[in-house]
Structure 1
Amino acid sequence: MINYTKASFLTSAPDIRRLPIDSGYEVAFAGRSNAGKSSALNTLTDQTGLARTSKTPGRTQLINVFDVGNERRLIDLPGYGFAKVPLAMKLKWQKSLTEYLQKRNCLKGLIVLMDIRHPMKDLDKDLIHWAVEVDLPVLALLTKADKYKSGKRKSELLRIKEMAKEFNGDVSVETFSSLKKLGIPQLSKKLDIWFDAEELIPPVPEDSEL
């Protein structure tokens, strides 16, 4: 297992040319500008200020990189959707996001965050379809799950899991709440798999014969 509470900010980059060398393992977090992406990263790492949050959607304008050790990195991609910013800036963000997803060889998995009350919008589906086409595994993370009571939350999870089958790829679905700390073990487990965390466990030495 990787201790995500030890994550630290590494750098921010306007495009992939300013990112760290393309080696090791990266998992990217993407989602609409109001999906709670920064809050999810802060909850996962148990750090209130690791990823900058804002009441104004769309403030993540750069590719933000967080180091979790051993050439493993969490990537906070620019949000898409509702950001109230000039069209030229939206297009610039979209270009950097697309370029990263298409050309970053060390990318091992994609977390697509969606408000549980408004899941699987067209842009979310487009992103998942693209990932499936290039054999990139996806975790659809239904954020703000505390907005629903337990029964409604479970039924919505089942509904989206059924929808996910239509992508015909490695697409899993989990619920998450930064407020209630729901879904952290499931998210951490998926990240450990994509980061090949078992590789980091030192082998147990065999008892040597006398």
Structure 2
Amino acid sequence: MSQDILNFQNARFVTSAPDIRHLSADEGMEVAFAGRSNAGKSSALNVLTRQKSLARTSKTPGRTQQINVFALDEKRRLIDLPGYGFAKVPLEMKLKWQQALSEYLQARKCLRGLVVLMDIRHPLKDLDQELIHWAVASDLPVLVVLTKADKLKSGVRKATLMKVQEAIPGFGGDVSVITFSSLNKSGLADMEHVLFQWFEATAPERS
């Protein structure tokens, strides 16, 4: 199959939806980003797309309360899913977020892969592991992104990466892991490489 050129800088906000019934038609290709509310998900999306404020960032975890859709072109989209786990919000609102997250992951047929972001200082929490197990059971590839890698010294960072890599085979399926920093952009090329494969695309030539 021939591959199309894909430029993440072309990402544009399309809509925020409270649930999958308010999303566009279930066609084309989508890659979803999920993670605990303090994992740095929005910052990672902004770095990936070279746009400072495409995805909302906030010092208050839990800012992403709906399913946010960003179009890359006519057939490919990035999905920013509601954060889970940490946010200090009313239980009713938290349950609504969790339902939207669950429905999207279980019912969206155009989903091509799931990026699970975790703070490298607190990897593989229970909810993170549940999400990976679900994706594997649904035959979805998973990229585990250990964010905020700049917060750890090199030796500790490498040791943490190795520990997570050793745990990955226990999930079965197609699961890989990288370290990432929104601050110094380390790991960005690795993330792009995986996403290009999932989107059946190639990178544009850089001038």
TM-score bin, normalised by smaller chain: over 0.9
* Paired letter, 2:50: D
Secondary structure of the residue aligned to 1:50 is: coil
TM-score scaled to structure 1, two decimals?
0.93
Which of 5, 23, 46 is the equivalent residue of 1:19?
23
Compute the displacement of 1:59 (Å): 1.1
Which of 98, 101, 105 is the equivalent residue of 2:102?
98
Cα distance in structure 2, aligned partners of 1:7 and 1:107: 17
Secondary structure of the residue aligned to 1:69 is: coil
Which of 146, 164, 168 is the equivalent residue of 2:172?
168
Partner of 1:206: none
For 1:158-205, what per-residue CA distance to the aligned partner results, in whole angstroms no more than 9, with x for missing partners? 11011111101111000000011111100011100100115x99xxxx
Compute the displacement of 1:149 (Å): 1.8
Cα distance in structure 1, aligned partners of 2:98 and 2:151: 29
Cα distance in structure 2, aligned partners of 1:191 and 1:150: 26
Cα distance in structure 2, aligned partners of 1:34 and 1:113: 10
Which of 151, 154, 158 is the equivalent residue of 1:154?
158
TM-score scaled to structure 2, two decimals?
0.94
Partner of 1:120: 124
Partner of 2:77: 73
Partner of 1:59: 63
Which of 87, 111, 132 is the equivalent residue of 2:91?
87
Compute the displacement of 1:64 (Å): 0.2
| Paired positions, count | 200
Q: What stretches of structure 1 move > 3 A for 4+ residues in a row?
A: none
Cα distance in structure 1, aligned partners of 2:77 and 2:122: 28
Compute the displacement of 1:20 (Å): 1.2
For 1:108-152, what per-residue CA distance to the aligned partner results, in whole angstroms no more than 9, with x for missing partners? 000000000000000000000000111111000000000112222
Q: Return the index of the structure with the highest Cα Rg.
A: 1
Which of 176, 196, 199 is the equivalent residue of 2:200?
196
* Paired letter, 2:72: V
Cα distance in structure 1, aligned partners of 2:37 and 2:44: 13
Structure 1 unmatched ranges of 5 or more: 202-210
Cα distance in structure 2, aligned partners of 1:70 and 1:7: 11
* Paired letter, 1:28: A
For 1:17-61, what per-residue CA distance to the aligned partner results, in whole angstroms no more than 9, with x for missing partners? 111110000000000000000000001111100000010000110
Cα RMSD for the two superposed structures:
1.3
Which of 142, 155, 160 is the equivalent residue of 1:138?
142
Structure 2 unmatched ranges of 5 or more: none
* Paired letter, 1:98: S
Identity %: 67
